[in-house]
Structure 1
Amino acid sequence: MTKESLVYGRSLLKEELPFSLTDENMGKLITKPAFMTVKGERVCARCSTVSTLTRGYPCTCGGVCLYCRECIGMGKVRECAKLYSMIDPRQFVSFDKPCLKWEGQLSAQQSDASDKVIESIRSSKETILWAVAGAGKTEMLFRGIQEALESNKRVCIASPRVDVCLELAPRIQEAFPDVPLAVLYGGAEESYVYTQLVIATAHQLYRFEAAFDILIIDEVDAFPFYMNKALLFAAEKARRNPSCQIYLTATPDKLMQKRIKNKQIEAVILPARYHGFALPVPKAIYHKNDILGNRYAENTILIRHMLVLIGQKKRFLLFIPTIAMMEKMRLIFQNVFKDVSFECVHSKDDQRKEKVLNMRKGKLDFLATTTILERGVTFDDIDVIVWCADHTVYTEAALVQISGRAGRSKEYPDGHVTLYHQGWTKAMKRALKQIRRMNDLARCRGLIQ
């Protein structure tokens, strides 16, 4: 692995380069200004964001420069800076035998979707894979990824959240054990290496340019991708021309659904889970008494429900809308569930990876979480409870995804989902309608009973 290879298909600031600039390597580098003027406005070349600053600030260059606020988390792009890249020569190891070692079997609907993924990769098309939570989207990608790798193409799977990347990485590595895999996210312990196969969080795409022949965007409807022009620009910039882009989602937004309806994008729709059981339809329960500030919290509907599940040795996820509410409820849980193993997790939790892993290993009786775990994570044999389901944080897509955490395993397909609320919202009604509609479509196709 040479230092130059660390710049192949990248878009890096001078301080990010793995070597010092010399006359020799400057001839190999593609250099461009970090800021451009577009229609009279100063625009960041890394993320395409128009500068909102009305004046420059004292800069390390000795002058006064603008800088980009949008992508500053990936390193400050100053007006005086340059971005450096090298053409990716595709120096990958050739395969003497199939690189896919996965021995599982796809269902008929999964196999059909897999064929269409391969077709999209071969013809460099834009495709959306609209599949319900638990349909087996990852497994449907395996043959397409194999096709790309064995054709000397470079593949990136971009996901909105670190948790999803960390769960996806071992599954991909197990399926392709002989293919080096780079997993990129903020705070990653391992340094970047040049590989043919990459898993990355959305923001890592800022550092790529003309790198990937196949870009798979998981949960394109989720934060931070959703309605984020900078990240969508980064995704476009990270692709070669021509290339294939595949979107994965269980809850496409209205714009994407309109594109599908108008046949502006190739769509593969899978309304059933791989194991042939229906999606769990949430049960909505109205309640009057709140757990916070209640002297008799142990008698509230939520605690009684939790005690029943614990008594049945049924593990569960409890979704709580805000971190502040979670911290208050944690104190109540510690008082009521003294002999119960549980944790609370949220986006600002430094130990969230360890807590999720402990839940997956069966070391916790329940895990309380914000919407950070609404998608992309799998636990066997769990129920799901949503507290304050009428809170504004719970959109239609969020509730559909949260409901999809239950019943994912073929050994335990009957997980229950409960929404506690103090008034119906449009999001709740639409989420239930969408889940029922997918179940009806699956039954019409004969995919579920």
Structure 2
Amino acid sequence: MDFDYSPRVKDLREKLIAFMAEYVYPNEPALYAQIDEGGDRWTTLPLLEELKQEARNQGLWNLFLPESEVGAGLTNVEYAPLCEIMGRSHFAPEMFNCSAPDTGNMEVFERYGTPEQKAQWLTPLLNGEIRSGFSMTEPAVASSDATNIQMEIRREGDEYVINGRKWWSSGAGDPRCRILIVMGKTDPDNPDRHKQQSMILVPLPHPGVTIVRHLPVFGFDDAPHGHMEIAFDDVRVPASNILLGEGRGFEIAQGRLGPGRIHHCMRIIGVAERALERMCRRLESRDAFGGPIANQSIWSERIAESRIALDQARLLTLHAAWKMDTVGNKEARIEIAEIKVAAPHAAIKVIDWAIQAFGAGGVADHIMSNAYAYARTVRIVDGPDEVHRNQMARLELRKYRNTDPARTGGEGSVYLA
């Protein structure tokens, strides 16, 4: 395993760092202000659109797509340090057209879409002309088990008719959202529970699609992106809108969520690294009880523990990325599950200490508040911790079945008094 940066990654990394310093960090206050201006929070941010064009002009665009002619063609290991840099700002991923759910949706179109679907939806997404949403989770079932999904997708002649309700459909609040990837059941009686589901494309606006409400995340509405509850009432779409074919929805979901999970982990490390830097600078700039707060032993311990936690999370993430690149997402599923648990836990701890270092100012800080809400949410999105831990335990137990414990000392003597 060689995690050294390639010459191309070194060049892109330096360009990203320079771009963040010149365009992103200085403009964060103005971007937050634009969200709050004018009364309508569900609209595009003019400044963000300007910065997206600048990023594109500098060749910092669509860096996320591996093994692709339409993206940057970086491997997961190469993309990891770049995604971490983008993660340092709430606004940065979208500036580089590398934000969820568009990244995952673009990968779905690239891997599973027909030429017609790619021309209609992938091309404008890659160009940043439109945005997209992903509708999988449902309010009436435990959606951490995707086989529970109940939305009805029924074939009628040359059309599919869709009925049901979704929530936490990220991206659907954006006025530029023109396409939803929707998961539902086309064959609920199939004895194989993993072949009952399909994914289908629903263009927006659509007369049968109603945005019921936006769902806040720790009080944040995440406007203009949003996480929406959506009602689908007799939504009719052409049969050609099915992705890959009936019964392939679970397969597509697994293919989509693998890269999505590792992208979240890469970004969350960047979020936490910025929190650690701000914490250290704050501790050295404030005096209490006769000297800089940084000199107090409890803060020395917290700084050290933060450094350890983030380096561990980064190495785990790079290892998972390397496995994905070398043996594929399926074979790397235990490593992906590991980081999906470890990275947000490390980030939450570091961000919490950073808030504590800022005192009362920490709970009012835009950057810190968004960081904490995002880090805590990552413990749920793309599968909660409990699901990943269960999967890891099953795979770990399976390793020792039908193997000889004598070869590894797996059954050492036990002394019983």
Give TM-score scaled by structure 2 length: 0.25
Which structure's residues are more often helix, by fraction? 2
Question: Scaled by the length of structure 1, what TM-score is found?
Answer: 0.24
Question: Which structure has greater strand proportion?
Answer: 1
Q: Over alpha carbons, which structure has the higher Rg?
A: 1
